[in-house]
Amino acid sequence: MCTSSMPAWVRPSQMVKSSAPSTSTVNEALARTRIKLLINLTLAAMAGSVAASSYATSTLRCGNQLVSTGDRAFEVQQKCGEPISQEVLGTQETFNSNYRRSEAVRIEEWIYGPDNGMYQYLRFEGGRLVRIESKRRT
């Protein structure tokens, strides 16, 4: 019955199995790891897009023109017209390391709207558009 070089007193059930994992076990572990990675990447992307969309956008359509962060206040006013509200919020101290001097920068908030119930809040620092937020007023 035993044609191999194993002694007759060793039964097949007593043989030590190899400690190396089978190919199917390795493939299953790889598949689980890939699924976990995919879920984490999806959640991270969703969290980033929600945070970005709820905080600020970088462009605003005014009629058939666009204003973007970095535009000057007079350019925004030319494209969008007079805001319904224009308020100076204060100043901010900035330091220019190239010239080793500081200066006070004026901070303003302009509000446009309502457009289908949405108001556009534009923040200017030093005469440049730095943030555009869309909100519904309650």
SS3 sequence, 49-111? Answer: HHHHHHHCECEEEECCEEEECCCEHHHHHHHHCCCCEEEEEEEEEEEECCCCEEEEEEEEEEE
Res 67 pLDDT > 50: yes
Mean pLDDT check: name the lowest of 30-34, 76-80, 89-93.
30-34
pLDDT average, residue stretch 49-67:
74
Residue 88: which of 104, 100, 76, 102 has the closest Cα? Answer: 104
pLDDT for 131 equals 96
pLDDT in tens, 18-55: 566 677 887 888 888 888 888 878 887 777 655 544 45
Total count of residues recorded for the chain: 138
pLDDT for 39 equals 83
